[in-house]
Amino acid sequence: MRIGLIASLFGLALWATPLAAAPTCANPGSAIGVERVVEVDAKSGPLFGVLTKQQREPTFLRDKEVVLTFDDGPSPWVTTSILDTLERHCTKATFFAVGKMAVSYPDVARDIIARGHTLGGHTWSHPRQLPKMKPAKAHDQIERGFAALEAATAGGIAPFFRFTGLNDSAPLLDYLQKRGIATFTVDVVSDDSFIASPDELTRLTLQRVRQRSGGIMLFHDIKPATAKALPAILKGLKAEGFKVVHMRATKPVQADAEMTARYLEIVQKKLAKSHKVPRLMPFYGAISELRETEAAALAGENGLTVSRIAPAPRDRGAKRSVTVRSVKPNRVTQPPAKANRPAKSSSKPKSRKSGGDEPLPWKIDPGRNKPAAARRANDTNNGGQSSSWQYHGPRAGRTNSPLVR
Ligand SMILES: [Zn+2]
């Protein structure tokens, strides 16, 4: 009992670190800042964002509110610049990081959390089509991704997931639901994967966010143009009256313990090489009640409203029976040998074999292979009401819900 309490308090200290470390804004007049905090209880595995054909929750954003999200990092060059920009503009974002990248650049992954941002998972190695993989392999990608992030940062990972290429499926959402992980697609696509000009990226991003009057915005923190355009985009958002909402989880993800321990070995070597002192404190506690107290305290301290949302679970009607991977060490099936490779292969893209289902993240951004005309058509739809991505009613075997719009 006492050990449990100590573990909980210790866990709280780790989980609460980014909150406590939030600095006061140096440019309160000109910076976009953070309007409010939305805490998502991921227990029921909710799905947010319009770019999906699956049942989703209604948006938690009000008119002219945005959530900033960055995928595919961390990368030392781009992510660090983005973190500096976000800090100058006193605002917060959510990063959906690739496990392999985080293990390769653990100091950058840690920096994301240390600066008070939210860090969620985006698979281990960014295969483009999780729904087309065998379920066990797809689940492994999800679990290894979270374990790698856990190891890279020594805790504090949100149970938030984004599908690669935004390619989701009912069975995989069912798996995530059973794992207590929330999934986020996108409302506003910046197309920073295709636009190299920061000016053009700024113009197009602001145009699209204007069309939708806000939403969950997608960027990539592996794209130099994104880092270059971000100051102008944040200034533009501020000038047009948009507000940033900071998304947070009510408690951290429960990563697979044995996988995490294996990745921790790689991370330690990485950090030792970069002369950083590793923090060897993976966390697996349950702290929801204590966390609520912390959230209330934060609201008082920074004057921010903290709204908590806890959507009800859904019957996703997955045809295959979903076996949820245990987070206990003795049921891990992944051989350790493979875990020793990621760091090297990640930093040497050309040495990779082709044809595998683990292409490098910077090669497979969503929609890259679509013809330009098709992309433009999609983009137009994203801004309107008739997007082909939007929900078209339940499929056979899936439960309809009044929450779906
Ligand atoms: Zn991605």
Q: Which residue has the higher pLDDT, 290 or 333?
A: 333
Least Cα distance to 267 among 154, 166, 366 occurs for 154
Spell out the residues 6+ positions from residue 29 whose beta carbon is closer than 8 angstroms to its own: none
The span from the CA of 123 to the CA of 72, in Å, is 9
Helix (H) or strand (E) holding 381: helix 372-383
In the prediction, which pLDDT does 251 show? Answer: 95
pLDDT in tens, 94-119: 999 999 999 999 999 999 999 999 99
Give the residue from 95, 178, 98 showing the smallest Cα distance to 130: 98
pLDDT above 70 for 394: no
Ligand 1 centroid from CA 304, angstroms: 31
Specify which residues 37 forms β-bridges with: 246, 306
Q: How far does the centroid of ligand 1 lie from the alpha carbon of residue 145, in Å?
A: 12
Centre of ligand 1 to C-alpha 149, Å, is 15
User: Cα of 207 to ligand 1 centre, how many Å?
Assistant: 22
Residue 249, H or E segment = strand 243-249
Whether omega for the bond prior to residue 74 falls within 30 degrees of 0, making it cis, is yes
Instruction: Please report the pLDDT score of residue 272 as a whole number.
Output: 83
Q: What is the mean pLDDT of the chain?
A: 76
The pLDDT > 90 percentage for the chain reads: 56
Cα(221) to ligand 1 centroid in Å equals: 10
Distance 366 CA to ligand 1 centre (A): 7
Distance CA 13, CA 86 (A): 24
Q: What digits encode the pLDDT tens for the residues 184-195?
A: 999 998 888 889
Distance 131 CA to ligand 1 centre (A): 15
C-alpha span between 161 and 126 (Å, rounded): 12
130 alpha carbon – ligand 1 mean position (Å): 12
Predicted confidence (pLDDT) per residue in 138-161, tens digit: 999 999 999 999 999 989 999 999
**Distance between Cα 218 and ligand 1 center (Å):** 10
Global pTM reads: 0.71
Judge whether 44 and 313 are in contact, CB under 8 Å: yes
DSSP 103: H
Largest distance between two CA atoms of the chain: 62
Residue 88, pLDDT above cutoff 50? yes
pLDDT score of 373: 45
Residue 82's pLDDT is 97
Share of the chain above pLDDT 70, in %: 65
Instruction: Give the distance (Å) from ligand 1 centre to CA of residue 163.
Output: 7
In whole angstroms, give the CA distance from residue 68 to residue 35: 12
Residues in the chain: 405
More confident of the two residues 398 and 163:
163
**For residue 72, how far is its CA from the centre of ligand 1 (angstroms)?**
5
Rounded to the nearest angstrom, the distance between the alpha carbon of 298 and the centre of ligand 1 is 32
- The bridge status of strand 214-220 relative to strand 243-249 is unpaired
CATH no. of 37-312+335-383 = 3.20.20.370
Distance CA 268, CA 286 (A): 25
Least Cα distance to 196 among 80, 365, 35, 388 occurs for: 365
Which pLDDT score, from 0 to 100, does residue 286 have? Answer: 26
Query: Residue 328's pLDDT is what?
Result: 56
Query: Could you state, in order of their start, the residue ranges of all structural domains in the chain?
Result: 37-312+335-383
Give residue 88 CA to ligand 1 midpoint distance, Å.
26
Specify the amino acid at residue 205: T
Q: What angle do CA 197, 191, 85 make, to 5 degrees?
A: 65
d(CA 156, ligand 1 centre) in Å: 21
CA distance 278 to 280: 6
Residue 220 alpha carbon to ligand 1 centre in Å? 7
- Average pLDDT in the 59-77 region? 96
Residue 217: per-residue pLDDT: 97
